[in-house]
Chains A and B, each alone.
Chain A
Amino acid sequence: MDFFDADILILGAGGAGLRAAIAAAQAAPDMTVALVSKVYPMRSHTVAAEGGSAGVVRANDSLDNHFNDTVEGGDWLCEQDVVEYFVGHCTREMIQLEHWGCPWSRQPDGNVNVRKFGGMKIERTWFAADRSGFHILHTLFQTSTQFPQIRRFDEYFCVDLIVEGGRVQGAVVLSLSSGEFTAIRARAVVIATGGAGRVFRQNTNGGIVTGDGMALAYRHGVPLRDMEFVQYHPTCLPGTGILITEGCRGEGALLVNKDNYRYLQDYGLGPVTPEPRNKFMELGPRDRLSQAFWHEERRGRTVTTPQGEAVLLDLRHLGAAKLKERLPLICDLARDFAGIDAVTTAIPVRPAVHYTMGGILVDINTATPLPGLFAAGECSSVGIHGANRLGSNSLAELTVFGRVAGEQAAAFARKAPAANAGDGHADRARAIEADALALLQQKGEGERHAVLRAEMAASMEKGCGIYRLGPEMQQTCDTIANLKQRHRALTLEDRSRVWNTDWVGAIELGFQLEVAEAMAHASLFRTESRGAHQRLDGYDKRDDVNFLCHSLAYRQAGTAPRIASQPVKITRSPPGQRAYGALGEQLEAARKEATHV
C-alpha cells in the first residue's frame, strides 16, 4: 500500500469537485489538494448536462424572483437562508466561468444570452448551445491544470473514508489501472461524487453515477436528507433514457400526445399559447410534467414505440437554422439514438430518472456533521432543491457550493491539527484494503452482481416511481434488504488486479444498495404528497402540519435505516399553494397585492 500526504482531499472531479479544487488552490496556495476521480475528470457526468445554468442577469429580473421560483418549485421544502445565499452568488459564478473561457452563447452585441427554463419566471438560464455541462466541465478541468498544487488521482476509486478520533482524516483509494491501494491522508475531505440515478432502471445518468460518496458518508454516520425526492425528467428517449434537454422547450418546443393535443393544458398548466410562456404549459416544472405523462399513459393517449410508451416533443416549427444554433446536440442525439430528424419529425420522449434531490446532509457552509467532512453538488443536500429541483439550478449549485466547499475545506485544514500520522492511520487503511481484497477473493454463492443490479433497478422503479403506493414502497424496502444480503454472498468472475471492473462494479453496487435503501425508507416515511414525492394511497395532499420537514435517513448496521425529521428553515416565504399556469399567475398577483397592503 502507498501513502500520500495531502492537506485537502476531494473525492470526485466533476463540476463541483473541480470548482472546489480550484477554490481551495486559490484560497490556500501553500496546500496540497488531492483530487480523486474514478474517471478522467472530463468524463464526469456533469458532461451530460445540456440546458444551462441559472444566474439573474436581465434588467427585468431580480434575486427575489429567482428565490421565489426556487422555493415554490421546491414546494417549500427548501432551506430559505441557503436559497438566499445561492441566488445571490449564481451570477458571480457564471461570470467567473465566462472569464475562464466557458463559451456561453451570445447575443449579437457580444453580451451573454439567456434562455427560458421550466418554472422560472424570467429568462435567466445561461447556456452554451445544448452542451452547457460539457463546456462547464471542460472549462473547469482545463482551468484546473494551471494549479500545480492540485495533485490528480485520475481513475482512482475510493473504497472508504478514514475516520479516526471523531473526524475524517483521509480515504483509501484503488488505482483501476494497477489494482493497488493508496491511503491519502488529509485534514479536510470534500465529497463531490454526484448523484445516484443509476439505482433506477430508466435514467438519464452515466454508468458512473452510483452514489458512491453518499454511501461513504452514510456508512460513517452522516445522515442522508430528503432521499425520497428523486427527479424524473419529463423528456428523455424511451428505452435508453437519454436526456432531451428542457432547453428544447425553453426555445419553444411543444409537447403533444398521440392526438397531437397539447395535453399539459389538462393538468393545471394552461392556457395554451402558441409559444409556451414562462411557468405555463411546456415551461412548467419537471415534477408536474412527469406526473402529467403518467396520467396520459393511463388514459391511453400516448404513442407506442418499440421501447415503450411516449409523448411527442415537437421542435419542427423552430426551423433548421435555430435548431443548429441552439440545439445541435439534441439533433445529433435524435438522429443517432432515435433515428429521427428533429427538423422534420417530432421526437418521442418520456420521463426517466434524472437527479437525486436529496443527499449528504450539509449546512450552508457545505459542512457535514462529521468534522472535516464537506460535500457539494448532487451528492449533497445543502437545501436548495426541496421537493423538486428547477432545471438549471444544479449547474449553478455545483459552482456556487463547489467554491464554498473548497474554501471551507481549506479554512478547516488550516486550523485542524495534522492528520494522525501514527500507526492508527495505517492500520485503519490496511483494514479497509483487506476488506476490499476479501470481496475480490470471496467464494460466495455464485451470483453475479449484474443480476442484483437489475433487480434493484426494477424494484426502485416499481416502488419509488412518479406515483407511489405504501405496499409497493414496502415491497421495495424488502427487496433492497434481500439484495443487501445477497450482495454479501456474491461471487466475482474476475480475481485479477489490473482494470478489474467486475470488482469495482461489485463495490459500487454495495454503495447503490445503501442509497436505494435510504430512498425507499424515506419514501415510505413521508405520508403526504409534495413535489416529486406523490402518493396514491390516501396521502395525495401536501400535509404542512406533519410534513413541512426534511427526512433524515440514518444508517443502522444490519437493519433498516432510522428515519428522523428535521425542521425546514423558513425565512421569508411562508408555505403557500403551489401552482403554475393561470392559477399560478393569479396567486402571485394576490401575494403581491398582499405585500403591498
Chain B
Amino acid sequence: MSDTKPKTIELRILRYCPSKDAKPAFGSFDVPYTDDMSVLQGLQEIKATLDGSLAFRWSCRMAVCGSCGMMINGTPKLACNTFLRDLAPGPVAIEPLQNFPIERDLVVTVGDFVKKIESIYPYVMPKVPKTIEEGTYLQTPGQMEEYASFADCINCMLCYAACPQFGANPDFIGPGAMALLQRYSSDSRDGGQQKRLDQIRGEDGVWSCTAVGICSEVCPKLVDPANAVNQNKSKSALDFFLSGLRKESVS
C-alpha cells in the first residue's frame, strides 16, 4: 500500500491578466495530490476548487493533442504527462512556454507558429496525380520509414520554447515547421521538394539553426526535428551548388 496520508505540493504559477496586471508575477497554490496525478490535473484541481480564473489550455490529457505545453521547473513539458510525484516535494515552478508572447497566465500566442506550418506547403503535391478510381499509391514500409517519425509531430511547440535561435529571432522558421517540411518532402508520393526548399533558403530559414539540438531533446514524441534541420541544410547546400551549376550552364 502506498502512503495514504494526504499529500500536498506547492505549485508556483506565473500569472498574468492583461486587464489587471502590469506584468506577470508568480502566484502560489498548495495542491493536494495523489501519485497518479499529472501537473495538468493539479492545475485542474486549482481551477475547480481554488481559483476559477486560472487560464491554461488542455484537452486530450493523453499527450496527443499538443495543447498543454508549458515550462515546468524551467523545462518545456506537456503538463498532462508530467507527474507531480516526480516533482515532489516541490515547490514546482510553472510558467508559460518560453519564447512566445503571453496572452494570459499559461496561455501563449500560437498563431505565428501555425502560420509557419502553413508557409512550408504542408500537403502532398503529387509527383504523379491519381484519381480515386486508380486507387492508392504504393508505398513500402521502407519508404514510409523515411518520413514516419516527422509525421508524429503533435505541434506542441516545446521545441520552439527550447530553441535559442527562435528565442533570439521570432521569425526563424524553427524546428517543428522544419520537421513538417521534411515529413512531406521525404514522402515518396510528393513532388514539392523544390518549392519547399526555396521557402527555407532565406535568412529566417534553415541556415539560422546553430545546431544546438535541444529541440530533439525536449520533443515528447521523439520526432527529432534537429535531424530534419540537418537534412535540409545539406539539401539546401546541394541545391545552392546545383543552382550555381544551372546558372553557369545557362550562361
- A residues at B contact (CB < 8 Å): 39-40, 42-45, 47-48, 92, 95-96, 98-101, 103-106, 108-112, 131, 134-135, 138, 142-143, 145-146, 154-155, 177, 206-208, 239-240, 242-243, 306-307, 329, 332-333, 336-337, 448, 450, 454, 492-494, 496-502
Contact = CB atoms under 8 A, between A and B. Distances in A.
A242 B152 contact: no
A396 B97 CA distance: 36
B63 A332 contact: yes
Interface stretch (B140-148, B205-213, B225-233, B239-247): B140-148
A493 B152 contact: no
Contact of B49 (A96, A108, A450): A450
Given A48-B60, A493-B53, A112 B47 contact: no
Contact of B139 (A39, A110, A135): A110
Contacts of B138: 109-111
A48 B117 CA distance: 21
Contacts of B17: 496, 498
B81 A337 contact: yes
Given A131-B152, A206-B60, A336-B81, 8 more contacts: A101-B190, A108-B141, A109-B140, A138-B151, A143-B124, A206-B61, A498-B19, A499-B107
* Size class of the B contact interface (CB-based, 8 Å): 35 or more
Contacts, number: 160
14 contacts: A47-B60, A92-B132, A98-B136, A101-B124, A103-B151, A108-B141, A110-B138, A145-B122, A206-B60, A337-B81, A498-B103, A499-B103, A499-B105, A500-B53
A481 B94 CA distance: 39
A450 B47 contact: yes
Given A450-B47, A450-B52, A497 B19 contact: yes
B187 to A, nearest CB: 6
Nearest to B121: A146
Contacts of B143: 110
A138 B180 CA distance: 11
A342 to B, nearest CB: 15
Given A208-B59, A336-B81, A493 B104 contact: no
B26 interface: no
Contacts of B98: none
Contacts of A177: 103, 109
B22 interface: no
Interface string B97-127: 0000001110101110010011001111010
Contacts of B136: 95, 98-99, 104, 111-112
Contacts of B118: 145
A336 B62 CA distance: 9
B172 interface: no
Q: Which of A92, A239, A307, A496 has the most CB of B within 10 A?
A: A496
Interface in B19-43: 19-20, 34, 36
